Structure 1
């Protein structure tokens, strides 16, 4: 099934070893951006560190590390330059999702492999890999199970014992073994014990900080109706249904985020009348006990940071403050305030990305929307900050293109927010422009390091990323404004952004192209068809060409009914707003880029679009990447994609 990989070890890069033992160098300031254009690879570089954490004792860190352009599972000592790092190289078919410490002897990692499941179609199979740091041996857990997802980590012991809870399926078919069972696994002995048997319809289990399975979220086969099972803090107490919801009535069950010790209180996230908040709630009575945080109307809580013991919410991230954490814990808020003051005027943000057990040692990322930044170590007791490594070996900490948020009015008066990236080496006047709509469509763009936008800006283009109606990040009312408007007002919002940029004198409307990935790829193709004289060219990356085909791809899978409802709510007529049916209206040259390993949007969308464009005598090019997935997680695929975009833009929109 999933291969264990090949263990390779080697010395740390000399510069990083020295940096880990020296004081942090000055941060990049608002100096002139690097001269361009730079090659595609400079922006395609995978970040040095991702999805990892510092050890409990604060002496080492583990995560997805990039060494020599290859992403590995890496474990590194922070202070001892002579200590040999451990690197685990995975096969080409396998990918890392996250890395966590269990204790000083064991590190675990979530991994996935793209495999055929009983037919020609492929899907990701997920497992957890455990690495014994004493021997370097890597082992795949629950490898004998036959389910697709065998890697849902619920809990890690905090007392130093090598124990974890994992929920795993044992069948790829919708039978009694399809729904996950929860196992307690001893990583030292390999022994596993069932602590929660599978329940029909329950697809997700939730555990508290003591390793007790407290809740389960279930659904009917079509995904339209859901329920919440709950038990008290005693593992022997019965699970009972305490909440039900129907997606067609815009309902959702209450989901516990953290469990307050000593009773039935839990922290929950509730949205009411466009206001999202965190509340302590009595799970039995559904009564709110106290308000922990309430966001302003139309602002969403993007991420919630929970304490290691899963009892307390430490902080949150808001859609209005991308990349920042608003700490609710007073000590953390005070520390963040000090970090913010220390980087004032330096055009960077200081973000705490991991803390050790007693919160005295931390990993920080100092970055901005204009620089990929660097990874730092900080010690609370000594106040010492040390740089571990830059995130991008080529760009390092040099500021690139400036980024800001703008707002404009759509043609019906609705205010639209957009992220605007401008070349830093020339005046922002009459620039060629790339409209760069996001994927989803249930997503949103925010100011932050965006390697694709930065690459296009480095080529001399203004890059505009409009959060059209139907985007997340602005509350349920704005989200619902997208219903019935796919290919209509949602597309007009993008067009109106281009008009605004031209009216402001920023862009030359006659030199505009549109580029997008996933739903953004759909918006690219549909933009060329809906307004055939508006753009000089387009680049669709993993784009949806046929809305009906996309919905049909849900098939008979779990939740297919809900997903189908979600898409049908966006447009009453799939065929009428599908690019595949509108090729005759397209005038501008279209480039298609798609990975053959994409399991989110089937590559047949781009295959069919390329074929139909050629048959109609249209100008089209197709870059088909044999190893690329939907998210272009391989550096080589990123580079190929960017190079293709750059060549197309320079040819048709110089």
Structure 2
């Protein structure tokens, strides 16, 4: 980007993003200050609002915006004209029980949507995925290959020449056999017409195509020996041959390509470096030899995502997280834009989340750990920057409760990083505390805005989110330290975080509760069983109470054996660390919250725990949410979740009143 354009961009950004200042003439006498009415306290309904937009995407020509828009507390699929929202907008209600996995543009007029739902199949509940296309002009919805009888369909390539063509991989049967293994079709998203490109191949579960739409790689899996294989063919086509294998029982991992270098046998992959941290490499697929190291994140961090050009041929940038986080653009234009934004908002984070095909128009998210932030549209050619919307109109872009990363030593000396949120307008001393372990357990809490943590902190609690051993984001070695330690050292890491907060003078050790969802819900229940006198209360949201039952739910499905192996590595004895088997030791009150549409952790996990706690005479409450899924995508469920947590904490671990001024 020429210097003059960079300067112009800085001026535009400063005008749009800077807080307005009101000047007063020095000659004028100051007017008497009007009495201010204190703003009404923010409520669970304010914090629990669905974001104005999720999955924002800009069309290839840069004129339309798509995403999941919040309309009266429900997410609807929408396409809007960026310059005139009233110009032929498209709104599609998401059917009850259906979840949207992704939204992407095919060309300037057609948008692709990946959806999935929990459906009854053969007397069981299966997750079934399908694709459909939406035309911006005609508003026509085209179901893509819904006549196939398999469980899953997905898109693996979209044309970049403006045509309405995609490549889809789809099954045509739920029964093992020729039609069970996904075949690849070229599909016209406007008409739904398709052409077979690659027949299904025994044990090949996933296919990968290069930027021209040539299917180049497949990933095969054999359940009997838990082995993965990579099959490959060159850019000229021909037969597929096996070039690599990995044994999941030995925790070997295939390096799957995310970008193919045009006209060559080379590709880019993400894999661990010598420090066990994810980096980007260029490899020759034909010889399985490294060509070069493309990018390694700063020390203690690893690459967590990549950004690729619309034609699939160029790596534009990477993002990384860990001890430090950020984004690096290899494209000079995008690098200049990022630097200009960062310079204009040094106290916030800016992310280019979507861009037009020529990269001249883009959507930018600007936020902070203590603010949900806002979405902006930027036009490089016109040096035009405008706010599309805040993500939460009730909260705006104001800073809420302060957030920072902290580190402490676990009892065995391992360094643990955690996210600390402190209640605003209260002295950070001897406060009640809520431990908020993340789900997964293969996950990580970061400085992303977290509406749960912010809401709880706003009620007067210190909130600590420890990235215990086994968490992602700190390399393979750190993640594998969780093996065999579920309910043991992994739980101790959470306890040690509480002890750190007490030692720092932030928290009162007699006023601690633990709240968590999914694996965090398990940790909340296990926390009050493992150390009965540590917490005054616990809240489990969609938590696993019976580990054996959870693992058995994988059943005989493809990859079920691998998933069972992964969990067995975390604990040699599920029964010994399952909260449902430790109810006699529990003394603290427990609140269970669970959605009946949860397809990740079955509702029965909370229902069974509730029944057995009641039978044992323990203090327990259950809040069933009939329409909630695992991620609480309905606003009504989010609000009820927060208000239930608020009431339970106030009852069993009340916060201090706000100090008088």
Shift of 1:223: 7.2
Give the Cα–Cα distance (whole angstroms) in 1 for the partners of residues 324 and 53 of structure 2.
19
Partner of 1:548 in structure 2?
548
Partners of 2:73 and 2:634 within 8 A in 1: no
Partner of 1:14 in structure 2?
none
Partner of 2:52 in structure 1?
48
User: Given the superposition, is the C-alpha separation of residues 110 and 622 from structure 1 closer, same or farther in structure 2, using an over 3 Å criterion?
Assistant: same
Partners of 1:265 and 1:282 within 8 A in 2: yes
* Pairs within 5 Å for 1:183-202: 183-202=185-204
User: Given the superposition, is the C-alpha separation of residues 279 and 478 from structure 1 closer, same or farther in structure 2, using an over 3 Å criterion?
Assistant: same
Q: Deviations over 1:535-565 (max 9, x none)?
A: 0000000111111111111111111221111
Partner of 1:246 in structure 2?
247
Unaligned residue ranges in structure 2 (runs of 5+): 1-14, 22-37, 655-661
* Pairs within 5 Å for 1:270-349: 270-273=271-274, 274-296=276-298, 298-320=300-322, 324-344=326-346, 347-349=347-349
Indicate whether 1:24 and 2:25 are aligned: no
* Pairs within 5 Å for 1:573-588: 573-588=573-588
Give the Cα–Cα distance (whole angstroms) in 2 for the partners of residues 523 and 37 of structure 1.
31
Give the Cα–Cα distance (whole angstroms) in 2 for the partners of residues 419 and 64 of structure 1.
28
Shift of 1:82: 4.4
Partners of 1:222 and 1:562 within 8 A in 2: no
Shift of 1:308: 1.5
CA RMSD of aligned residues (A): 1.8
User: Given the superposition, is the C-alpha separation of residues 81 and 157 from structure 1 closer, same or farther in structure 2, using an over 3 Å criterion?
Assistant: same
Partner of 2:536 in structure 1?
536
Partners of 1:58 and 1:361 within 8 A in 2: yes
Q: 2:121 aligns with which of 109, 117, 120?
A: 117
Secondary structure, aligned partner of 2:322: coil
Q: State the aligned residue count.
A: 624
Give the Cα–Cα distance (whole angstroms) in 1 for the partners of residues 106 and 270 of structure 2.
28
Indicate whether 1:147 and 2:150 are aligned: yes
Shift of 1:430: 0.9
Give the Cα–Cα distance (whole angstroms) in 1 for the partners of residues 252 and 105 of structure 2.
37
Shift of 1:333: 1.8
Shift of 1:68: 2.5
Secondary structure, aligned partner of 2:181: coil
Shift of 1:646: 0.8
Unaligned residue ranges in structure 1 (runs of 5+): 1-22
Partners of 1:222 and 1:559 within 8 A in 2: no
Partner of 1:6 in structure 2?
none
Q: Deviations over 1:402-453 (max 9, x none)?
A: 1100000111111100001111121111111000001111111111110111
Partners of 1:54 and 1:362 within 8 A in 2: yes
Shift of 1:35: 6.4
Partners of 1:37 and 1:459 within 8 A in 2: no
* Pairs within 5 Å for 1:431-450: 431-450=431-450
- Greater shift in the superposed pair: 333-342 or 582-591: 333-342
Displacement over 6 Å in runs of 4+: none
Q: 1:91 aligns with which of 80, 88, 95?
A: 95
User: Given the superposition, is the C-alpha separation of residues 78 and 24 from structure 1 closer, same or farther in structure 2, using an over 3 Å criterion?
Assistant: farther
* Pairs within 5 Å for 1:395-434: 395-434=395-434
Give the Cα–Cα distance (whole angstroms) in 2 for the partners of residues 472 and 220 of structure 1.
26
Partners of 1:324 and 1:351 within 8 A in 2: no
Please identify the structure whose Cα radius of gyration is greater: 2
Q: Deviations over 1:623-647 (max 9, x none)?
A: 0111111111111111111111111
TM-score (norm 2): 0.92
Shift of 1:297: 5.1
Shift of 1:305: 1.2
Give the Cα–Cα distance (whole angstroms) in 2 for the partners of residues 481 and 417 of structure 1.
14
Shift of 1:25: 5.6
User: Given the superposition, is the C-alpha separation of residues 223 and 272 from structure 1 closer, same or farther in structure 2, using an over 3 Å criterion?
Assistant: farther
Shift of 1:257: 1.1
Indicate whether 1:224 and 2:226 are aligned: yes
Shift of 1:28: 9.9
